[in-house]
Copies of this chain bind each other. A is one copy, B any other.
Amino acid sequence: MAKLVALLVALVAAAGSSSCAAWELSIRMPTARAVEEAAARLDDEIRDAAAPLIHALRPLVGSAGELGRRAGVPCDSWRLAVEAYNKRDWKTVPASCEGYVGHYMLGGHYRRDSRVVVDEAVAYAEGLELAGNGREVWVFDIDETSLSNLPYYAEHGFGTEPFNATSFNAYVMEGSAVALPETRRLFRKLVSLGVKPVFLTGRSEDQRAITSANLRRQGYSGWEKLLLKPIGFKGTAIGFKSGERRKLQDAGYVIVGNIGDQWSDILGAPEGARTFKLPDPMYYIG
Protein backbone atom coordinates (compact mmCIF):
# COMPACT_ATOMS: atom_id res chain seq x y z
CA MET A 1 0.00 0.00 0.00
CA ALA A 2 2.81 2.39 0.88
CA LYS A 3 4.29 1.52 -2.51
CA LEU A 4 1.05 2.55 -4.19
CA VAL A 5 0.78 5.83 -2.36
CA ALA A 6 4.42 6.52 -3.17
CA LEU A 7 3.68 5.85 -6.82
CA LEU A 8 0.72 8.19 -6.72
CA VAL A 9 2.70 10.95 -5.07
CA ALA A 10 5.48 10.49 -7.60
CA LEU A 11 2.99 10.78 -10.43
CA VAL A 12 1.50 13.91 -8.95
CA ALA A 13 4.94 15.39 -8.44
CA ALA A 14 5.83 14.58 -12.01
CA ALA A 15 2.61 16.16 -13.21
CA GLY A 16 3.31 19.28 -11.22
CA SER A 17 6.91 19.75 -12.25
CA SER A 18 7.35 18.39 -15.76
CA SER A 19 5.85 19.79 -18.90
CA CYS A 20 2.48 18.61 -20.17
CA ALA A 21 4.09 17.70 -23.45
CA ALA A 22 6.22 15.04 -21.82
CA TRP A 23 3.09 13.50 -20.35
CA GLU A 24 1.33 13.65 -23.65
CA LEU A 25 4.16 11.83 -25.33
CA SER A 26 4.49 9.05 -22.82
CA ILE A 27 0.76 8.57 -22.60
CA ARG A 28 -0.13 8.78 -26.22
CA MET A 29 2.45 6.37 -27.49
CA PRO A 30 2.55 3.43 -25.13
CA THR A 31 4.58 0.94 -27.15
CA ALA A 32 4.06 -2.74 -26.43
CA ARG A 33 7.66 -2.91 -25.23
CA ALA A 34 7.28 -0.02 -22.80
CA VAL A 35 4.14 -1.59 -21.39
CA GLU A 36 5.84 -4.96 -21.00
CA GLU A 37 8.72 -3.35 -19.17
CA ALA A 38 6.36 -1.47 -16.89
CA ALA A 39 4.35 -4.61 -16.30
CA ALA A 40 7.45 -6.52 -15.30
CA ARG A 41 8.23 -3.89 -12.69
CA LEU A 42 4.77 -3.62 -11.25
CA ASP A 43 2.74 -6.38 -9.75
CA ASP A 44 -0.76 -7.10 -10.94
CA GLU A 45 -2.54 -4.94 -8.40
CA ILE A 46 -0.41 -1.90 -8.99
CA ARG A 47 -0.82 -2.24 -12.76
CA ASP A 48 -4.59 -2.35 -12.41
CA ALA A 49 -4.63 0.69 -10.18
CA ALA A 50 -2.13 2.75 -12.15
CA ALA A 51 -3.99 2.76 -15.46
CA PRO A 52 -7.17 4.53 -14.28
CA LEU A 53 -5.01 6.82 -12.19
CA ILE A 54 -3.15 8.07 -15.21
CA HIS A 55 -6.45 8.86 -16.86
CA ALA A 56 -7.70 10.66 -13.80
CA LEU A 57 -4.57 12.75 -13.97
CA ARG A 58 -4.87 13.55 -17.65
CA PRO A 59 -7.63 16.16 -17.38
CA LEU A 60 -5.81 17.66 -14.43
CA VAL A 61 -2.46 18.13 -16.09
CA GLY A 62 -3.49 18.62 -19.72
CA SER A 63 -4.16 22.07 -21.03
CA ALA A 64 -7.80 21.19 -21.60
CA GLY A 65 -7.79 17.45 -21.17
CA GLU A 66 -9.12 14.92 -23.62
CA LEU A 67 -11.77 13.96 -21.08
CA GLY A 68 -13.03 17.52 -20.77
CA ARG A 69 -16.11 18.55 -22.63
CA ARG A 70 -14.46 21.56 -24.21
CA ALA A 71 -11.73 19.52 -25.89
CA GLY A 72 -13.95 17.41 -28.12
CA VAL A 73 -15.55 14.11 -27.25
CA PRO A 74 -15.12 12.80 -23.69
CA CYS A 75 -13.38 9.50 -24.39
CA ASP A 76 -14.96 7.44 -21.62
CA SER A 77 -18.46 8.52 -22.66
CA TRP A 78 -17.58 7.83 -26.29
CA ARG A 79 -16.48 4.31 -25.35
CA LEU A 80 -19.69 3.70 -23.39
CA ALA A 81 -21.75 4.90 -26.37
CA VAL A 82 -19.89 2.40 -28.56
CA GLU A 83 -20.46 -0.48 -26.16
CA ALA A 84 -24.16 0.27 -25.68
CA TYR A 85 -24.66 0.50 -29.47
CA ASN A 86 -25.53 4.18 -29.41
CA LYS A 87 -22.57 5.09 -31.57
CA ARG A 88 -22.73 3.27 -34.91
CA ASP A 89 -21.07 3.32 -38.30
CA TRP A 90 -17.96 5.07 -37.05
CA LYS A 91 -14.79 4.79 -39.08
CA THR A 92 -12.02 5.60 -36.64
CA VAL A 93 -11.46 6.29 -32.96
CA PRO A 94 -11.41 10.08 -32.38
CA ALA A 95 -7.80 11.21 -32.69
CA SER A 96 -7.92 12.82 -29.25
CA CYS A 97 -8.81 9.43 -27.72
CA GLU A 98 -5.77 7.51 -28.93
CA GLY A 99 -4.03 7.77 -25.56
CA TYR A 100 -7.21 6.90 -23.70
CA VAL A 101 -7.95 3.82 -25.81
CA GLY A 102 -4.32 2.73 -25.66
CA HIS A 103 -4.32 2.81 -21.90
CA TYR A 104 -7.70 1.16 -21.73
CA MET A 105 -6.51 -1.72 -23.88
CA LEU A 106 -3.03 -2.14 -22.42
CA GLY A 107 -3.80 -1.41 -18.78
CA GLY A 108 -5.98 -3.56 -16.56
CA HIS A 109 -9.27 -1.97 -17.59
CA TYR A 110 -10.00 -3.91 -20.77
CA ARG A 111 -9.06 -7.18 -19.13
CA ARG A 112 -11.25 -6.40 -16.11
CA ASP A 113 -14.25 -5.46 -18.26
CA SER A 114 -13.79 -8.67 -20.27
CA ARG A 115 -13.56 -10.73 -17.11
CA VAL A 116 -16.94 -9.52 -15.86
CA VAL A 117 -18.57 -10.38 -19.20
CA VAL A 118 -17.04 -13.86 -19.20
CA ASP A 119 -17.93 -14.44 -15.55
CA GLU A 120 -21.51 -13.76 -16.56
CA ALA A 121 -21.26 -16.10 -19.54
CA VAL A 122 -19.75 -18.89 -17.42
CA ALA A 123 -22.48 -18.50 -14.79
CA TYR A 124 -25.09 -18.69 -17.54
CA ALA A 125 -23.44 -21.77 -19.10
CA GLU A 126 -23.20 -23.53 -15.75
CA GLY A 127 -26.90 -22.90 -15.18
CA LEU A 128 -27.97 -24.42 -18.50
CA GLU A 129 -29.94 -27.63 -18.48
CA LEU A 130 -28.22 -29.39 -21.32
CA ALA A 131 -29.83 -32.10 -23.40
CA GLY A 132 -26.39 -33.61 -23.80
CA ASN A 133 -27.15 -34.82 -27.30
CA GLY A 134 -24.12 -33.17 -28.85
CA ARG A 135 -26.22 -30.62 -30.74
CA GLU A 136 -25.69 -27.71 -28.37
CA VAL A 137 -23.21 -25.16 -29.67
CA TRP A 138 -21.81 -21.79 -28.62
CA VAL A 139 -20.79 -19.34 -31.33
CA PHE A 140 -17.46 -17.55 -30.92
CA ASP A 141 -16.30 -14.66 -33.02
CA ILE A 142 -12.52 -14.67 -33.55
CA ASP A 143 -10.92 -11.22 -33.84
CA GLU A 144 -10.99 -9.29 -30.54
CA THR A 145 -13.07 -12.15 -29.10
CA SER A 146 -11.02 -15.35 -29.25
CA LEU A 147 -7.80 -13.83 -30.54
CA SER A 148 -6.47 -10.37 -29.84
CA ASN A 149 -4.94 -8.24 -32.56
CA LEU A 150 -3.74 -5.70 -30.04
CA PRO A 151 -0.10 -6.09 -31.18
CA TYR A 152 -1.25 -4.85 -34.60
CA TYR A 153 -3.48 -2.06 -33.38
CA ALA A 154 -0.89 -0.83 -30.88
CA GLU A 155 1.30 -0.08 -33.89
CA HIS A 156 -1.55 1.53 -35.81
CA GLY A 157 -2.89 4.15 -33.46
CA PHE A 158 -5.35 1.96 -31.52
CA GLY A 159 -8.04 2.47 -34.12
CA THR A 160 -7.36 6.12 -34.85
CA GLU A 161 -5.91 5.24 -38.27
CA PRO A 162 -8.32 4.21 -41.05
CA PHE A 163 -8.47 0.44 -41.47
CA ASN A 164 -5.87 -0.86 -43.92
CA ALA A 165 -6.92 -4.27 -45.24
CA THR A 166 -3.53 -4.94 -46.84
CA SER A 167 -1.44 -4.47 -43.73
CA PHE A 168 -4.01 -6.10 -41.46
CA ASN A 169 -4.26 -9.19 -43.64
CA ALA A 170 -0.47 -9.41 -43.76
CA TYR A 171 -0.52 -9.39 -39.97
CA VAL A 172 -3.23 -12.10 -39.88
CA MET A 173 -1.09 -14.29 -42.15
CA GLU A 174 1.69 -14.20 -39.55
CA GLY A 175 -0.60 -16.18 -37.26
CA SER A 176 0.80 -14.37 -34.27
CA ALA A 177 -2.39 -13.08 -32.66
CA VAL A 178 -2.67 -13.85 -28.95
CA ALA A 179 -5.52 -15.52 -27.10
CA LEU A 180 -7.89 -13.40 -25.08
CA PRO A 181 -7.46 -15.30 -21.82
CA GLU A 182 -11.00 -14.66 -20.58
CA THR A 183 -12.56 -15.99 -23.76
CA ARG A 184 -10.29 -19.02 -23.74
CA ARG A 185 -11.46 -19.70 -20.19
CA LEU A 186 -15.09 -19.65 -21.39
CA PHE A 187 -14.20 -21.85 -24.36
CA ARG A 188 -12.61 -24.50 -22.16
CA LYS A 189 -15.46 -24.36 -19.66
CA LEU A 190 -17.97 -24.99 -22.44
CA VAL A 191 -15.99 -27.91 -23.83
CA SER A 192 -15.88 -29.41 -20.33
CA LEU A 193 -19.65 -28.95 -20.03
CA GLY A 194 -20.26 -30.65 -23.37
CA VAL A 195 -21.24 -27.53 -25.32
CA LYS A 196 -19.48 -27.47 -28.68
CA PRO A 197 -17.73 -24.25 -29.72
CA VAL A 198 -18.27 -22.99 -33.26
CA PHE A 199 -16.01 -20.23 -34.59
CA LEU A 200 -17.81 -17.80 -36.87
CA THR A 201 -15.56 -15.12 -38.30
CA GLY A 202 -15.40 -12.35 -40.86
CA ARG A 203 -11.96 -13.67 -41.84
CA SER A 204 -12.08 -15.13 -45.32
CA GLU A 205 -11.78 -18.73 -46.46
CA ASP A 206 -8.19 -18.27 -47.70
CA GLN A 207 -7.18 -17.52 -44.11
CA ARG A 208 -8.49 -20.88 -42.84
CA ALA A 209 -5.16 -22.67 -42.38
CA ILE A 210 -3.35 -19.84 -40.62
CA THR A 211 -6.39 -19.04 -38.46
CA SER A 212 -6.72 -22.64 -37.39
CA ALA A 213 -2.98 -22.84 -36.63
CA ASN A 214 -3.09 -19.56 -34.70
CA LEU A 215 -6.04 -20.76 -32.61
CA ARG A 216 -4.34 -24.07 -31.79
CA ARG A 217 -1.08 -22.35 -30.95
CA GLN A 218 -3.00 -20.16 -28.50
CA GLY A 219 -4.55 -23.06 -26.66
CA TYR A 220 -7.88 -23.53 -28.41
CA SER A 221 -8.82 -27.08 -29.35
CA GLY A 222 -11.90 -29.22 -29.75
CA TRP A 223 -14.07 -26.85 -31.78
CA GLU A 224 -16.93 -28.23 -33.84
CA LYS A 225 -16.66 -25.89 -36.80
CA LEU A 226 -14.63 -23.01 -38.12
CA LEU A 227 -16.88 -20.93 -40.36
CA LEU A 228 -15.17 -18.30 -42.53
CA LYS A 229 -16.48 -15.86 -45.09
CA PRO A 230 -16.46 -17.19 -48.66
CA ILE A 231 -14.03 -15.39 -50.97
CA GLY A 232 -15.81 -12.56 -52.71
CA PHE A 233 -18.78 -12.54 -50.32
CA LYS A 234 -20.78 -9.37 -50.76
CA GLY A 235 -23.01 -8.32 -47.93
CA THR A 236 -22.96 -7.08 -44.39
CA ALA A 237 -21.37 -8.78 -41.40
CA ILE A 238 -24.81 -9.10 -39.82
CA GLY A 239 -26.14 -10.73 -42.98
CA PHE A 240 -23.26 -13.19 -43.20
CA LYS A 241 -23.22 -14.14 -39.54
CA SER A 242 -26.97 -14.43 -38.97
CA GLY A 243 -27.15 -16.47 -42.19
CA GLU A 244 -24.53 -18.89 -40.89
CA ARG A 245 -26.33 -19.18 -37.57
CA ARG A 246 -29.52 -19.95 -39.45
CA LYS A 247 -27.71 -22.76 -41.30
CA LEU A 248 -26.44 -24.15 -38.00
CA GLN A 249 -29.97 -24.18 -36.68
CA ASP A 250 -31.32 -25.74 -39.85
CA ALA A 251 -28.67 -28.46 -39.49
CA GLY A 252 -30.10 -29.35 -36.09
CA TYR A 253 -27.77 -27.41 -33.83
CA VAL A 254 -29.09 -25.47 -30.85
CA ILE A 255 -27.22 -22.19 -30.32
CA VAL A 256 -27.19 -21.82 -26.56
CA GLY A 257 -24.80 -18.86 -26.57
CA ASN A 258 -23.05 -16.37 -28.80
CA ILE A 259 -20.14 -14.09 -27.95
CA GLY A 260 -18.47 -11.35 -29.94
CA ASP A 261 -16.94 -7.90 -29.68
CA GLN A 262 -19.16 -6.32 -32.35
CA TRP A 263 -22.92 -5.82 -32.31
CA SER A 264 -22.84 -7.31 -35.80
CA ASP A 265 -21.70 -10.57 -34.18
CA ILE A 266 -24.82 -10.55 -32.06
CA LEU A 267 -27.73 -8.98 -33.92
CA GLY A 268 -29.84 -10.66 -36.59
CA ALA A 269 -32.08 -13.68 -36.00
CA PRO A 270 -31.30 -16.28 -34.89
CA GLU A 271 -29.04 -14.56 -32.35
CA GLY A 272 -28.64 -17.54 -30.03
CA ALA A 273 -30.40 -18.10 -26.73
CA ARG A 274 -28.11 -15.65 -24.93
CA THR A 275 -25.61 -13.16 -26.30
CA PHE A 276 -22.52 -11.55 -24.82
CA LYS A 277 -20.82 -8.38 -26.03
CA LEU A 278 -17.13 -8.11 -25.24
CA PRO A 279 -15.60 -4.64 -25.19
CA ASP A 280 -13.91 -3.23 -28.28
CA PRO A 281 -13.24 0.48 -28.52
CA MET A 282 -10.81 0.11 -31.47
CA TYR A 283 -13.02 -0.52 -34.48
CA TYR A 284 -16.57 -0.91 -35.74
CA ILE A 285 -17.90 -3.51 -38.15
CA GLY A 286 -21.46 -2.89 -39.30
Residue ranges of A at the interface with B (Cβ–Cβ < 8 Å): 1, 4-5, 8-9, 12, 15-16, 45, 48-49, 52-53, 55-57, 59-61, 63, 65, 67-69, 73-74, 76-78, 80-81, 83-87, 109, 112-113, 115-117, 120-121, 275-277, 279
Contact = CB atoms under 8 A, between A and B. Distances in A.
A5 B12 contact: yes
**Interface majority SS on A: helix, strand, loop or mixed?**
helix
Contact of A52 (B4, B49, B55, B112): B55
A150 to B, nearest CB: 18
Given A56-B56, A116-B81, A86 B12 contact: no
B12 A73 contact: no
A86 B120 contact: yes
Given A60-B49, A112-B69, A279-B80, A86 B117 contact: yes
A80 B45 contact: no
A166 B112 CA distance: 38
A27 B164 CA distance: 46
A283 to B, nearest CB: 16
Q: In the complex this chain forms, how many copies of it are found?
A: 2
Contacts of A15: 5, 8
Given A5-B15, A16-B5, A116 B86 contact: yes
B77 A113 contact: yes
A84 B84 contact: yes
A51 to B, nearest CB: 9
B74 A112 contact: yes
Nearest to A120: B86
Contacts of A117: 81, 84, 86
A10 to B, nearest CB: 10
B4 A8 contact: no
A173 B275 CA distance: 38
Contact of A73 (B9, B63, B116, B276): B116
A67 B45 CA distance: 11
14 contacts: A4-B60, A5-B60, A49-B59, A52-B52, A53-B56, A56-B57, A76-B112, A77-B112, A77-B113, A77-B116, A80-B113, A80-B116, A81-B116, A81-B117
Contacts of A60: 1, 4-5, 8, 49, 53
Contacts of A78: 116
A269 to B, nearest CB: 10
Leading 7 A-B pairs by shortest Cβ distance: A56-B56, A77-B116, A83-B84, A53-B56, A84-B277, A77-B113, A49-B59
A9 to B, nearest CB: 6
Contacts of A49: 56, 59-60, 65, 67-68
